[in-house]
Structure 1
Amino acid sequence: MVIDPATLSTTAVVDSGPRQPEWRRALQASLPVGIGLVPLGIALGVLVVQQGFNPWWAMVFTSLIYAGSLEFIAVGMVAAMTPLPYIALTALLVNFRHVFYALSFPLDRVKGRLARFYSMFALTDEAYAMTVTGDRKSMSGRVIVYSQLYLHAYWIGGAMLGATAAQWIPENIVGLDFALTALFVVLSIEAIRAQSGFAVPSMAVMCALIARLVDPGHMLPIAMGAFVSLLVIRYFWTRRKVRTDA
């Protein structure tokens, strides 16, 4: 049997089909996540107006901060005129996990100084999950940046929609800021299911309860500081145990 190389080449081209533009691939990849970001953005926009800010401040917060949970916290802290050092410390503790994201985030695929700067700025939980799991590991640098741009646009659009609609929403509606808490509850449940034990969740609950008893007004930084410290201690203790057993 004789195989014609030309036939093989033609068949391969036909089977592969036209390659989608990178912006379209990024749009398809980010759309499911973006659908989940819009309601949270709406909740943030409503919260901004309820705290006494003008609606356009929703765009300022989402454009310049873009840190999800930190934005919900920052709105209340700015409204309460919290000192800047305290805000900075809270931001460090809340977003400290991004230090670990950087260890496996494929920033080397992103070309160009401006694109890299924006990719680092837009490194959110959702963007990280999209780029390091499953088939996403084959995403090019442009697809990564486009995906982050789309996610950012979903977030800004949701916040602006919420800030605009808040003008017609009664002020006595409370609990909209709980939307992010509900999201993290779901994420925590999924994380617990993926864990081999309950050591880490138990430490988190213990730190929260102790911080609540020690100083309810500064519960968040105390709890997160204690939790990070326990994680570091646990890491070195586990590492030492592995070396001893070996």
Structure 2
Amino acid sequence: MTERPGRSDLRAAVADVAGIGAGMFLLGTSLGLLVVGSGLAWWWAPVLGGVVFAGSMEFLLVALAVAGTPLAAIAVTTLLVNGRHVFYGLSFPLHRIPGRLGRAYAVFALIDEAYALATTRPDVALSGRRILWSQVLLQVCWVSGSTLGALAGDTFSLRVPALDFVFTALFVVLATEAVVAGREATGPLLAVACALVARVVAPGEMLLVAMGLFVAALLVRYRLTPREPAGA
């Protein structure tokens, strides 16, 4: 019996997300622990995961909220941290997503991991439903992990340090897969160089400076890369 297309897309998405989803679940638990450890109610963890769903920004948002940071400052910080998603949109295969509602969700759920999965898979096998299922599963892993962490922290007063390193390890894996798939290591090397420069010139604002330098370096590389003639 031939498998239904929707079901095969779901099975493919489960296989795509399996490894990354486990990392996101574990990292989500650290967000939940951070939420209750910062004095917020446990239910803020699933709310952040369901409404914000921005990974590193959620960790930063908890700290900003607890510190009583003005909304204008939070908005500017969010723009600087998540501004990279504008560049993601240039190469994300949004045209494959069926329906306005599906495309709206795909834009909302365009996190780093979803972008990596969608841009390192062969175009022939990458359907719009497979992309959407991958994004849904990633959010489920994130929200369930953060909810579990918040409930555990609230119930047992758990405080587990150093779980935030999972975020770094996850991005190392994603960068490695991207290099292997594209057989091109210029991007990661540029990122490392920008991080080192930012560490030296602006250690207090390393993240923002490094991201700014990296964006500038990518733009310069784009301008200097030879283009193939149309129709070649």
TM-score normalized by structure 1? 0.73
1:87 aligns with 2:78: no
In structure 2, the partner of 1:105 is 92
In structure 1, the partner of 2:174 is 187
My pick for the range that moved more, 41-50 or 200-209, is 200-209
CA-to-aligned-CA distance 1:65-106 (integer Å, 9 cap, x gap) = 112222223222333333444433443343344333323433
**What code does the residue aligned with 1:159 have?**
S
1:116 aligns with 2:103: yes
* Distance verdict in 2 for CA 1:86–1:215, change over 3 Å: farther
CA contact (8 A) 2:23 2:170 kept: no
Measured after TM superposition, the shift of residue 45 of structure 1 is 1.1
My pick for the range that moved more, 62-71 or 186-195, is 186-195
In structure 2, the partner of 1:20 is 4
Match runs of 1:37-76 below 5 Å:
37-76=24-63
Identity of aligned residues (%): 47
CA-to-aligned-CA distance 1:221-242 (integer Å, 9 cap, x gap) = 12211221222223323449x9
Measured after TM superposition, the shift of residue 37 of structure 1 is 2.2
CA contact (8 A) 1:107 1:119 kept: yes
RMSD: 3.2
1:229 aligns with 2:216: yes
In structure 1, the partner of 2:13 is 29
* Distance verdict in 2 for CA 1:141–1:201, change over 3 Å: closer
Distance of 2:101 and 2:60 partners within structure 1? 28
Distance of 2:11 and 2:223 partners within structure 1? 41
Distance of 2:34 and 2:92 partners within structure 1? 32
CA-to-aligned-CA distance 1:111-145 (integer Å, 9 cap, x gap) = 33222211211122333344444457445444433
Structure 1 unaligned segments of length 5 or more: list them. 1-16
Instruction: Count matched residues.
Output: 224
Distance of 1:73 and 1:63 partners within structure 2? 16
Distance of 2:104 and 2:205 partners within structure 1? 33
**What code does the residue aligned with 1:166 have?**
G
**Structure exhibiting the larger radius of gyration computed from Cα positions:** 1
Measured after TM superposition, the shift of residue 213 of structure 1 is 4.0
Measured after TM superposition, the shift of residue 109 of structure 1 is 3.2
My pick for the range that moved more, 216-225 or 39-48, is 216-225
**What code does the residue aligned with 2:162 have?**
G
TM-score normalized by structure 2? 0.77
Distance of 2:119 and 2:44 partners within structure 1? 33
1:127 aligns with 2:114: yes
In structure 2, the partner of 1:12 is none
Structure 1 SS opposite 2:153: helix
Distance of 2:204 and 2:63 partners within structure 1? 13
Measured after TM superposition, the shift of residue 27 of structure 1 is 4.9
